[in-house]
Amino acid sequence: MSCAGIAAILCVAVVATHAIACNIPVFRYALERWKPDTSEIVVFYDGELSQPQLAMVTELSSQTTQHGGHANAKVIRSNVASETDPLRRDLWEQLRSTSEPTLPAVLIRSKLGKGRFINHWHGSLDDADQLGIFRSPVRDELSNRLLGGQSVVWLLVQSPDQQKNLAAKELLSKTFGSLATKIQLPEGIGLPGSELYADVPLVVKFSVLEIDASDPSEAFLTGLLTSMRKESFQSGEPLLVPVFGRGRALEVIPANDVSAKLIEDLTLFLSGACSCQVKEQNPGFDLLINADWDTELFGDLENRPPDRSAEEGRNRDPVLVPIPPGRK
C-alpha cells in the first residue's frame, strides 16, 4: 500500500565541531567521494555446481569489485542443502514461496539505504548469464555522461503512451532552461575541506536519457525501476529518475507527480553546497553499473580523495524537500 506522502530529508552538511564546512556541490561531492553501494547476487544451488555452472558463477564474480572488477556487486553462493546463514535461508524460503525456482537460481538484491534491501530480480543461472546484469547501453551512456561532468541525468522510463512520454521530456527540458539562470555554484570551492580532485569540468549541466521499456537489453534496469512504482507504470505513467554522482538514483517518480517546482527543488539541492557527507543518511539508491569510476576520475592512486561514504559527523538541521507519495 502506498503512503499518503513522504518528505525526503536532505541533510545540508555534516560538520564536526572542529571541521571546515564543505562547499562542493552535492553532485560533485558524490561523484568524487561516495563509493556505490554493493548489490548482492545470491546464487542458490543444491549440492554441487557442474563445471559449466561454476564457470558462469566465476565469470559473474570476476566482473565485481569483490574480485577485482568494477561492477558494484558481490556474488554469494548458497548451498540450500547445508546453508546455515539465517538471512540466506529466509531468502531461499521467500523465493520458494513466491515462485518455482529452477536450481541453480539467482536472486539479485539492491541496497536502498539504512540497511534496507529490495529483491528486484530472480531467475535461473542461465537467464542471469544472458540478462546483462552489469552493463547495458543506457547504463554505459549514463556513466559516460556523469564522468563527463553532467550534474544530474534524468532517466525517463517510457510508457506505451507516447504523448505522456513527450510531455514529461518537454517539462524537463523547459525547466532545465529556466534553471540555468537560477543556479549558482557555492562559493569557497577549492578551499580546505572543499578541494576538487578530478579534472572533470565543474559545470551545471542536465540531460534526459530515455529508456525503451520494451528493449530486452535494458530488461534488468527497467525491471528494477518499474518495480518501485509498479502501479503507476502499469497505469501508463512514464517514470522519471534523477541520477547523480556514481549512478545514485535520488528517487523513482511517476511523471504525473512531477512538476516544474519539484524538478527545480531537487536540482537546486543537488547543485547546492554538499549535503550530509554521510552517504547513508542521504536519500537514494545506487544503480548496478560496471564502471571504473576512480581510474576514470583520478588516474593514479595518489590523486584520489578520501572515501567519505560513511564518514561520521554532526549534522546540521536537515532541509525538507517534498517528494510525491512513496513507492509501492
Give, in degrees to the nearest 5, the angle at Cα 229 between 12 and 6: 40
Using alpha carbons only, how large is the chain's radius of gyration in Å? Answer: 20
Q: Pick the closest to residue 118 from 230, 239, 277 (CA basis).
A: 230
Which residues face 107 on adjacent strands?
A: 42, 122
> In the chain, what are the domain boundaries?
6-36+137-322, 39-131
Over the chain (328 residues), the average pLDDT of each successive run of 10 is 36 37 84 93 96 96 94 97 95 92 94 81 92 95 97 97 97 91 78 81 93 96 94 97 96 96 91 62 86 90 64 41 50
Q: Is there a contact between 256 and 301 (Cβ–Cβ < 8 Å)?
A: no
**Beta strands at 206-211 and 152-157: parallel, antiparallel or unpaired:** parallel
| 3-state class (DSSP) for residue 286 | strand
Report how far residue 77's alpha carbon sits from residue 88's, in angstroms, rounded to the nearest whole number: 10
The type of residue at 197 is Y
Residues 6+ apart with CB under 8 A from 35: 72, 246, 307, 309
Task: Please give the CATH topology (third level) of the domain spanning 39-131.
Answer: Glutaredoxin (3.40.30)
| 3-state class (DSSP) for residue 132 | coil
Report how far residue 151's alpha carbon sits from residue 133's, in angstroms, rounded to the nearest whole number: 25
- Phi/psi at 40 (nearest 5 deg)? -110, 130
C-alpha cell recorded at residue 58: 566465476
C-alpha cell recorded at residue 15: 560538520
Which residues face 79 on adjacent strands?
A: 45
C-alpha cell recorded at residue 45: 544451488
Q: Is there a contact between 204 and 274 (Cβ–Cβ < 8 Å)?
A: no
Report how far residue 168's alpha carbon sits from residue 159's, in angstroms, rounded to the nearest whole number: 11
Report how far residue 39's alpha carbon sits from residue 52's, in angstroms, rounded to the nearest whole number: 24
Report how far residue 274's alpha carbon sits from residue 22's, in angstroms, rounded to the nearest whole number: 6
C-alpha cell recorded at residue 218: 535494458
